[in-house]
Amino acid sequence: MTTYKEAGVDIEAADRAVEDIKSLVKGTFNKNVLSNLGSFGACYKFPKNDYNNPILVSSADGVGTKLKIAFLSGNHKTIGQCLVNHCVNDILVMGAKPLFFLDYFATGKLDNNIFNDVIYGLSKACKENSCALIGGETAEMPGFYSDDEYDLCGTVIGAVDGDNLLSDRVIQKGDVLIGLPSTGLHTNGYSLARKVLLDKFKVDEYVSEINSTISESLLSVHKSYLHILDKAIPKDWLLGLSHITGGGLEGNTNRILTGDLKLNVDWDVWEWPNIFKLIQNVGNVPTDDMKKSFNLGIGMVLIIKKDYISDAETYLKNINENYYIIGEIN
């Protein structure tokens, strides 16, 4: 006789794991969450009084091979934060604020300590972004994933009032590009970064050029721009946002341009953070590859109406957010 547990799936252990994270998850709930953790479906009451013409906006994503750094270093607490913040930024570029989030965690053998650390990060970021971690899936898949590794992805659902839908705004020649600083690689370019850096350094090795260990730098939390920009969304001077992920600054910002509009980026305005300099120097990576693979220190680009740049600067100065005027639309 062969049991499910002997085949590699321990249902009782999975039930205990879910029980252990209930307090973390429930800490993200608000009055609109109508279901309990563990229900077949998650129920959320839409806050219709907050919108005149509501439009739902969704996004699903993962954190790529940043997971490999977590596996090698044993630090799993920031990965969940990175996932939530990445997804929140993706719907922010449409003008949307998050309502709720769902995650998918799959592994060869469930480790409760690792699972708890990941959920801790998810819950922390959900609270910081004012959204509920309303549900998800935890899958133990022996023979498909390695016992000591896992995959993680998530889906965010948010909403924007139709009047504030950024994709409806008209970008023209002469409009100005403002870049907001990133906190490192965020969640993109890790295959290249790992290839270069881990061929030379150990994952927990201190490197003077970046004043940290490799893992500390590479596991820096992906920055959420929600509370920096949420009050800017209704402003007429904000014409568009670009979340700088895979494809780099130009590749992502070109996605929101129409017709024959082109970017004119002044790459000399800001200095690359040291982690990017280290990657290029150690790996002899061509500059074009660096620009296509990494954010290079700019995590979000704002497109500002050309005659209102002072309004945008005043807004950012008032909230003490650093910024760079990095170019214009041609």
Q: What is the pLDDT of residues 147-204, one digit of tens each?
A: 989 999 999 999 999 999 999 999 999 999 999 999 999 999 999 999 999 999 999 9
**What is the band of 2 on the pLDDT scale with cuts at 50, 70, 90?**
confident
User: In the chain, where are the structural domains located?
Assistant: 11-167, 169-329
Q: Is the pLDDT of residue 6 over 80?
A: no
This prediction's pTM: 0.96
Note the pLDDT of residue 3: 86
Burial 239-263 (b: 16+ CB within 10 A, else e): bbbbbbbebbbbebbeebeeeeeeb
Does the pLDDT value for residue 261 go beyond 80? Answer: yes
Region 76-100: mean pLDDT is 98
Nearest to residue 95, comparing CAs of 16, 163, 160?
A: 160
pLDDT of residue 18: 80
Domain 11-167 indexed as CATH 3.30.1330.10: yes
Give the pLDDT confidence score for residue 89 in this predicted structure: 98
How far is Cα 156 from Cα 58, in angstroms, rounded to an integer?
6
Residue 195: CB atoms within 10 Å = 13
**What is the three-state SS of 218-287?**
HCCCCCCCHHHHCCCCCCCCEEEEEECCCCHHHHHHHHHCCCCCCEEECCCCCCCCHHHHHHHHHHCCCH
Quickly count helices (H) and strands (E) in the chain: 11, 11
Give how far Cα 139 sits from Cα of 8, 9, 48, 153, 243, Å: 12, 9, 34, 12, 30
pLDDT over 90 percentage in the chain: 91
pLDDT averaged over every residue in the chain: 95
Give domain 169-329's CATH number out of 2.60.120.200, 3.90.650.10, 3.40.190.10, 3.40.50.720.
3.90.650.10
User: What pLDDT, on the 0 to 100 scale, is given for residue 7?
Assistant: 79
Q: What's the average model confidence in pLDDT over 290-317?
A: 97
Report, as an integer, the average pLDDT of 101-129.
97
